[in-house]
Amino acid sequence: MEDRFKPIECNDGDVLDFGGNTYKIAKFKQAMDTSFNPTLESILNQELSRQGINRKQSLNGNWFQKGTDCEILTLGSPSWKKGKVKIKISVEFYVEEEDLQITNSNNSEITEPESPLDDLRRMINE
């Protein structure tokens, strides 16, 4: 099935409406960040373990805030590099294709007005 939605950039001051409940993007993102609590992390660890992905448990690291210790070997690198992996979830808003087409067709009708100085420039150049 073809994706019929197109993403747009959202700013912290933009507002979402969920059936009459409105929230600024900044508040929505903050609520998402605080929702990443130890219970959610425990559920994530259990599901990853069920899928065969096990990690060494660390007292000072976690998936969402500080990251968890790991190593990476990148293509072409001669050795492993120590670091952390952190899960970050982004919030995106997708405009339905129909609305996007209407917006684009309206924008295509707008033409740049001719500057009143254009006549003077033509006369000077002649």
Nearest to 91 by CA among 21, 4, 11: 11
pLDDT, tens digit (0-9, with 9 covering 90-100), for 54-68: 877 655 557 888 888
In the structure encoding, which two tokens stand for residue 34, read together?
């605080």
Model pLDDT for residues 54-109, shown as the tens digit of each residue: 877 655 557 888 888 888 898 888 999 999 888 887 777 888 766 545 555 555 55
pTM of the complete model beyond 0.85: no
